[in-house]
Structure 1
Amino acid sequence: MRYTAIILVVSLVLTSCSKKTSFHKNEGLIFGTLYHFTYESENDLSDELKKVMNEYDLSLSTYKENSVISKINSNRSMETDEYFRTVFNKAKQITKVTDGAFDMTVAPLVNAWGFGFSKKDSITSELIDSLMMDVGMDMIEMEDGKIIKERPGIMLDASAIAKGYAVDVVADFLEFKGIENYMVEIGGEMRVKGTNPKGMSWKVGIDKPIDDPKVLERELQEIISISNIALATSGNYRNFYVKDGKKYAHTISPFTGYPVDHQLLGVSVLAPDCMTADAYATAFMVLGAEKGMAIVENDPELEGYFISAGTDMKYEIVYSKGFEKVIEVRE
């Protein structure tokens, strides 16, 4: 009887230690966009994840008056937090690699062209010349956790990197919880690990760069199969406006002060973390496919997929060797 009791106790302990996990799906609205999380866990972590995202928003949202970045932009405070410092340091790094194509100080230009957090101005060459005086990552530094500006008019726009870092923040939280299988997607940027509910790599679609507002359904250019990696996509086929018959894209060149005007329609970047993928995707939209691909081929941690406008209404597609390996063959 004694041995039977011991076996029974051990059995109960083992049973209690092996709680059943299942895949949970959370979705909602954050940072002005939709998010979708799928993860294998013992518990639904929706409330905890919302708390993490809301705390993050208080650092890098230019739409919140008392966020860290808003205080810096209005010169009310130059103090930073860990979220801001991480983004700022990564931005500095990618600005250097891209010879200035990635530049957080384009905020005044983004606002002037109507794609930012304040009202659009009436564009003149004189206005652009004036705003360009405050553009340049070399005019802003961080010392002892505080931002130092050369000019008070310098403002930062984190929209091209903060969403990607938000994906990383959520993914890192899930990993802190011991979760091995997940897909974190915020506004199209994502990071995946392990396998999906079917026990396979995560399958993700890359959209065709269709800018016709009459086309409501997504059309996929490719389907890729990925795991343990981050993906970010940037393009000028959704966020734009037409004035006097001319299309104005949301990607603003820090070199000219004007929206980019070249053949590259969209780019998708694979990287170990989503912050890096997000920033490079934007930089490549400024640089164009040829220069963007050159950077990809020089960095073993990056892969890229570039869609450019071709002739006869066709696309010109180029991608790196590593990206080719994740493309699903479709019949």
Structure 2
Amino acid sequence: MKKYTRKKISCLLVLLLSSGFLTACNTNMKKDVVTEAKEFAMGTVISQKVYGENGQVAIDEAIDRIKYLEGLLTFNAREGDIYNINENAGKKKVELNPITLKLMTKAQQVAELSDGAFDITIGPLVKSWGIGTENERVPAPEEIHNLLPLINYKDLEVDNHTAYLKNPGQMVDLGGIAKGYAGDEVIEIYKKNGIKSAFINLGGNVVTLGSKPDGSPWTVGILNPRKEDAAEGHQILGSITVRNKAVVTAGDGERYFVKDGKRYHHIIDPHTGYPAQSDLMSVTLITDSSFNADALDTAVFILGSEKGMDLLQKYGGIEAIFITTDKKIYVTDGLKGNFKLLEGSSSYQLID
């Protein structure tokens, strides 16, 4: 089995840090004091860049908050809400933190809108495949067949205080939405500390505050979803510019393994039990809230470009970049003239 070791890096999206993309004014003003940090949490490398005299305070508070959310919301945190609800599947309702209930309520809304393409009861299949862990494998067809009846968002009951999984063996996994919520939380921490210019990258969830100190927008780079095929030095496919936006990507280019010549990525289709096979290699959503985008990008990736676009139109207020398996790039109307295909990306075609 051939393994790929980029699992702790961002999914398909990075904020470009080269001098040509993120630069600050060379002044001595306090607002231009820059603080940077990297930390591993929520299964990924988290990068922050904050301008302002309270930058270090804001960064420290942000990491503390992220680690709190990780303990509350992630799959294997024994003291957290998700572990508790999974342990009590088919037994009883579980009192949950309001944050957990907020995420579950949002997840259920996206599940309804997407006809179950996004489904947080995907947990048993995620655990079986183990993609991104030391135990990644291809489950036997009969194992997948036996697990599929456990995957049904309608079996998750959520009210104002509790959640309940109807059947033993069912498991919630908030991996497709938790980072989005965390990103918005961090922006609020920045604001509370008087920060007006910053960004955070939570492994493919990039959230920007304001613009760069010189007033220019942030430039966000879109990674080539087939970086192993890219020419040296051309892993960045294109870029967009944003202010006060979240740029969130789902795709098959980072967390995957190859066995017997076949590629298996981490986004599991709840209807088949196997990694999703649509016409997309990646989808990037641009919106005001990373929380709003994080579940939707997974659903769109699974549905494919046509049905995915229909879903985004139902939701409203979101721009998108689609990269298809035949290496064509489609952007929504609000991004036309903004997305730039970089030199060295000649194998891709930007469709007007």
**Higher RCO, Cα 8 Å, sep 6+:** 2
Contact kept in structure 2, 1:62 and 1:69, CA below 8 Å: yes
Q: Distance in 2 between matches of 1:136 and 1:216?
A: 43
- 1:316 alignment partner, one of 303, 328, 333: 328
Q: Distance in 1 between matches of 2:277 and 2:205?
A: 24
Structure 2 residues not aligned, in runs of 5+:
1-28, 344-352
Contact kept in structure 2, 1:297 and 1:320, CA below 8 Å: no
Q: Number of matched residues?
A: 309
* Letter aligned with residue 194 of structure 1: G
- 2:80 alignment partner, one of 56, 64, 67: 67
Identify the residue that residue 57 of structure 1 maps to in structure 2.
70
Identify the residue that residue 240 of structure 2 maps to in structure 1.
224
Contact kept in structure 2, 1:293 and 1:320, CA below 8 Å: no
Identify the residue that residue 41 of structure 1 maps to in structure 2.
52
SS of residue paired to 1:294: helix
Contact kept in structure 1, 2:224 and 2:230, CA below 8 Å: no
SS of residue paired to 1:212: helix
SS of residue paired to 2:34: strand
* Structure showing greater Rg: 1
Following superposition, which runs of at least 4 residues in structure 1 exceed 6 angstroms of deviation?
213-216
- When residues 226 and 125 of structure 1 are mapped into structure 2, their CA distance, relative to the original with a 3 A threshold, is same
* TM superposition shift of 1:47: 2.5
- 1:327 alignment partner, one of 333, 339, 343: 339
Q: Distance in 1 between matches of 2:154 and 2:262?
A: 32
Contact kept in structure 2, 1:23 and 1:197, CA below 8 Å: no
- 1:283 alignment partner, one of 292, 295, 299: 299
- When residues 326 and 83 of structure 1 are mapped into structure 2, their CA distance, relative to the original with a 3 A threshold, is farther
- 2:308 alignment partner, one of 273, 292, 295: 292
Identify the residue that residue 39 of structure 2 maps to in structure 1.
28
Structure 1 residues not aligned, in runs of 5+:
1-18
TM-score (norm 2): 0.81
Contact kept in structure 1, 2:155 and 2:166, CA below 8 Å: yes
1:150 pairs with 2:166: yes
- 1:251 alignment partner, one of 263, 267, 270: 267
TM-score (norm 1): 0.86
SS of residue paired to 1:70: helix
Q: Distance in 2 between matches of 1:329 and 1:160?
A: 28
Identify the residue that residue 287 of structure 2 maps to in structure 1.
271
* TM superposition shift of 1:208: 1.2
Q: Distance in 2 between matches of 1:216 and 1:56?
A: 37
